[in-house]
Amino acid sequence: MYLNPKYYKNPHEFNPDRFIGIEPQKNTLLMFGGGMRMCPGKKFALTEIRCLITLIFRSLDVSLVDANASVKLISTFMSACAELMVKINQREEQVASLFKLGG
């Protein structure tokens, strides 16, 4: 599907931006494919992504710039946050403890 120029222009070009602001045709944006050849690593990949996000956020202090600001959503085939102003600070003690693991 992703290599079909009918649905994706220059399909062999590495261009993650191709997905920004598009309204995909039905069944042309299946993250892990579908049917018999569906990605067998899906659950593993999602678990890894959750672990990675957890590790990143463990070392960061994230807070809203304006806790009263309304959430700006874009809703097409799925909903996404259009803008979310946050303050990000490094948590020094958390970073240090990460490097102590196993040592």
> Smallest distance from the beta carbon of 93 to ligand HEM, in angstroms?
31
Binding site for ligand HEM (CB under 6 A): 31-34, 37-41, 44-45
Residue closer to ligand HEM by CB (options 24, 40) is 40
Residue closer to ligand HEM by CB (options 10, 89) is 10
> Smallest distance from the beta carbon of 58 to ligand HEM, in angstroms?
21
Nearest-5° Cα angle at 65, 59 to 67:
105
Can you say whether the dihedral through the CA atoms of 67, 68, 69, 70 is positive or negative?
positive
Measured CA to CA, the distance from residue 103 to residue 90 in angstroms comes to 22
